[in-house]
Amino acid sequence: MTATAVRVDTAPAARTKRRRRSLGWVAVVPLLAFVAVAFGLPALAMLDGAFTAKDPATGATSYTLDNLTTSLKGAYLTALLGSVKLSAVSAALGTLVGLPLAQAVVSSRFRALREAVLTASGVLANFGGVPLAFAFVATLGNAGVLTRHFGLTDKGWDLYSFWGLVIVYLYFLIPLMVLTVTPALDGLRVQWREAAQNNGATGVQYWRFVALPVLLPTLLGGFVLLFGSAFAAYATAAAMVGSSIPLVTLQIADAISGNVLVGQENVALALSLDMVLVAGLVMAVYLPLQRRSARWLA
């Protein structure tokens, strides 16, 4: 009798649980539909176009690998490598500067300063595009305020160069690194530092043998995140340097608009596919690092 009663009593609970699970899926359907329309359809169109060639004489289309082959040769390959180089250098400098800045914020006794820096970082990490380019042109351009005041042109400064673009990218990459690494710095146990000090370790030894090994997955993940952010940036570089610096995003824009050659739209889609593959590799590296970091600092 008791076993029967238990089965009878738990049956409604099981049905309620299944009903709630079904309602949960219903609530997710609009999001899944949005993702399918906003991301799925463009992705399918990109894949189709990257492997499609159109005969200019007859207008007939056929599937081919010529677009991908073209995207990995000549000026297109130079632009792809230029974007990788710019992203790697910017991400490395952003990581090196962002870590000590985040540590200074975390170790500060003034909570208001911490909140102000983190709030500003959240804003600056998303500040880019034409407004950012205009701000730097007005400040450090050839006729910029600081350029004229300090005579930077005579000292070899050029905002519209590779290193000038790196400086501009650091404006939003350093705040992004601060936001990324601050939770990991908060997760460092006070007991770890005390144990290291009790065993005679100096501050440098604590960071070298305890803190940095624990933070390494977060730092690598932050570097990868900064790399992806710089790699995908377009509007800032387009507004500042145009086509004077070879970048894959600028090459895609030129191929679509026909500024250099007409009829290169499918090559632009192949270049976009190259970017997606690079972004996929970035995410494949970032996600395991993020999980490992969360496991250490949980």
pLDDT digits (tens, 9 = 90+) for 38-51: 888 888 888 888 88
Tokens of 225: 């995140």
pLDDT at 56 over 60: yes
pLDDT classification of 187: cutoffs 50, 70, 90: confident
Q: Which residue has the tokens 């500060």?
A: 108
Classify domain 66-297 by CATH architecture: Orthogonal Bundle (1.10)
**What pLDDT is stored for residue 1 in this prediction?**
47
**What pLDDT is stored for residue 6 in this prediction?**
47
pLDDT at 178 over 90: yes
Task: Name the 3-class secondary structure at 62.
Answer: strand
Which carries the bigger pLDDT value, residue 74 or residue 60?
A: 74
pLDDT at 62 over 90: no
Give 63's strand partners. Answer: 52
Using one digit for the tens of pLDDT, what is the confidence trace for 137-148?
999 988 889 999
Using one digit for the tens of pLDDT, what is the confidence trace for 196-238?
888 888 888 888 888 888 888 888 888 988 998 999 888 899 9
Which carries the bigger pLDDT value, residue 145 or residue 12?
A: 145
Residue 77 CA to residue 271 CA, distance in Å, equals 9
Tokens of 23: 């309602």
Residue type, 44: L
| Helical residues (DSSP H) of the chain, grouped into ranges | 2-35, 41-50, 66-71, 74-106, 111-124, 130-140, 145-150, 162-186, 190-198, 203-206, 212-232, 235-240, 248-257, 265-297
**What pLDDT is stored for residue 18 in this prediction?**
61
Residue 208 CA to residue 221 CA, distance in Å, equals 19
**What pLDDT is stored for residue 19 in this prediction?**
60
Angle at 23 between CA 17 and CA 25, to 5 degrees: 110
Cβ atoms of residues 178 and 101 within 8 Å: yes
Using one digit for the tens of pLDDT, what is the confidence trace for 94-124?
999 999 999 988 888 888 888 898 899 999 9
> What percentage of the chain exceeds 90 in pLDDT?
21
Sign for the pseudo-dihedral over CA of 205, 210, 201, 94:
positive
Identify the top-confidence range among 77-81, 91-95, 257-261: 91-95
**What pLDDT is stored for residue 94 in this prediction?**
95
Domains of the chain, by residue range, sit at 2-50, 66-297
